[in-house]
Structure formats: C-alpha cells, structure tokens
Amino acid sequence: MIKFRAELHVHTVLSACAGTDMLPKPIVEAALFNEINLIAITDHNASYNAAPVMKVGSREGLLVLPGMELETEEEVHSICLFDTLDQLNELQKIVDARLPFYPNNEDFYGPQWVVDEKGNKLRPEKRQLLFPVQISIQKACKIVKDLGGLFIPAHINREANGLLSHLGTVPPDLDVQILEINRRTTKEACIKRFPELARYCIIQSGDVHYLDGFLGANLFTARNTTLKAITEAMLSSL
Ligand SMILES: [Zn+2]
Ligand SMILES: [Zn+2]
C-alpha cells in the first residue's frame, strides 16, 4: 500500500494566469518540499507541459499524472486526469476541434509557454486557451470516462467557473463521484450550504498557480499508482 499526499490541480507556464516560475523542475521541487508525492498537471484546455513535468517527476520520485483543466460550454471548469499521455492526447484532439480560435493577446492575458523538462521555452501557444470548449459538461465527462480518465468538477465553491454558481447544483445526469473545492472553504461548510453534496467524495486542491500555492490536503492510501487505485482510495477515505 502507498500513502499519498496529493495535489491534483497544478498549472504550468502554459496557463497564462500561472506564475512565470511554474516550470517542470521548480514545480517538482516545490511539491516534494511540501511532502507531496502525487500531483497532476492541469493547464487550461491544454496538455503540452504534462510530459516534461512527468519526466522530471519520475527522476525525482514524484508521481505526476497527466491531466487538463477543461472549460466546458457552461463555463464550468473540471479537472480531467489520466494514467497516460496517449489518453490525454486523445482528449486534446477533441478540445482542439471544439475550442474557438482566438489569438492570445499576451499583453492582456500573459504568455502561454510550452516548455521542455529543463524549462526551456519551446514555443508560445498562440491560441488563447481560456475560453469555453463547445461541448457540454455531461458529454465531456463521458468522453473522459470512455478514455479511461477521471473527471472532477473543479473549485465547485468558486463564483467564477465553479459548478455550483453556474449550474446551481450537481446536475443529476452528470456521472461524477468526486468534486473539488478550493482552499477558501471546507468540506463541512460546503455540505452545510449544499446538503446534497454529502453523498459525493470531496477533495480539496490548491489550484496551484504559484510555487508557494501547494496545499497537499488530500491524504489517502492506495493499492498502487494507477488512476483506478487512486480513485478507489479517494472514494473510500475522503
Ligand atoms: Zn479553474
Ligand atoms: Zn485551475
């Protein structure tokens, strides 16, 4: 059995809203400094920096899951986690086909960098990534599940891009078991306000945009390092 301290929502310099030092090595070092041994890379509607962080993580003893923070047509954010880059790449293809093309205005939004494992800037992503992908949250959830991934509505308590503020509740036809809250609330406070959330597993993430933003709030013990085992462990202990 493996004891995990997990932070499953981490941005890199590919997200215009993230700090300029959110590069593979500093991210891995900051996670380990906070005694976190499992992270997921979840940039907005994009996946290109997951691979370099996974490479550094595997060298340094940090398990890094490939992921994405998807914005669906309801303007709700959800984190999508996978075991492999191949699965994530399949999701990226679907996102690419359904994300409206607006050139990124770097002066307004900030740059979006694709980097290598040493943190070298390979290219700027020219398309503005922070727009809703033209797909419903229910459909996106099914696509991620069919790919073998895990779909978790993100920062559900947040006004901006949170499921509760945009949709009022968890839609009954949304096939999820795990929900994410951010650092500004507690599971207890959320359930007090929305009693229907009591039947869900609620994880808490730092939604890490800066190196000092790691929370590491999710502690659980899993059979192995697969997403299936990690999911089961979260469902049984959080
Ligand atoms: Zn978000
Ligand atoms: Zn985020």
Q: Are 96 and 174 in contact (CB under 8 A)?
A: no
Sign for the CA dihedral angle at 206, 208, 209, 212 comes to: positive
pTM of the model: 0.98
Mean pLDDT of 98-117: 95
Ligand nearest to C-alpha 166: 1
d(CA 153, CA 222): 22
Ligand nearest to C-alpha 130: 1
Residues 125-175 have pLDDT tens digits of 999 999 999 999 999 999 999 999 999 999 999 999 999 999 999 999 999
pLDDT-derived band at 40 (thresholds 50, 70, 90) equals very high
Residue 238, pLDDT score: 86
Ligand nearest to C-alpha 46: 2
Mean pLDDT of 196-219: 97
How far is the centre of ligand 2, averaged over its atoms, from the C-alpha of 79 (Å)?
8
d(CA 151, CA 158): 18
Number of H helices, E strands in the chain: 8, 10
Residues 170-192 have pLDDT tens digits of 999 999 999 999 999 999 999 99
How far is the centre of ligand 1, averaged over its atoms, from the C-alpha of 153 (Å)?
9
Domains of the chain: 2-237 (3.20.20.140)
How far is the centre of ligand 2, averaged over its atoms, from the C-alpha of 105 (Å)?
20
Residues 60-72 have pLDDT tens digits of 999 999 999 999 9
d(CA 6, CA 222): 11
How far is the centre of ligand 1, averaged over its atoms, from the C-alpha of 155 (Å)?
7
Q: Which two tokens stand for residue 147?
A: 């790919």
How far is the centre of ligand 2, averaged over its atoms, from the C-alpha of 152 (Å)?
12
Residues 218-227 have pLDDT tens digits of 999 999 999 9
How far is the centre of ligand 2, averaged over its atoms, from the C-alpha of 226 (Å)?
23
Residue 10 above 90 pLDDT? yes
How far is the centre of ligand 1, averaged over its atoms, from the C-alpha of 79 (Å)?
8
How far is the centre of ligand 1, averaged over its atoms, from the C-alpha of 42 (Å)?
9
How far is the centre of ligand 1, averaged over its atoms, from the C-alpha of 29 (Å)?
23
pLDDT-derived band at 1 (thresholds 50, 70, 90) equals very high
How far is the centre of ligand 1, averaged over its atoms, from the C-alpha of 25 (Å)?
23
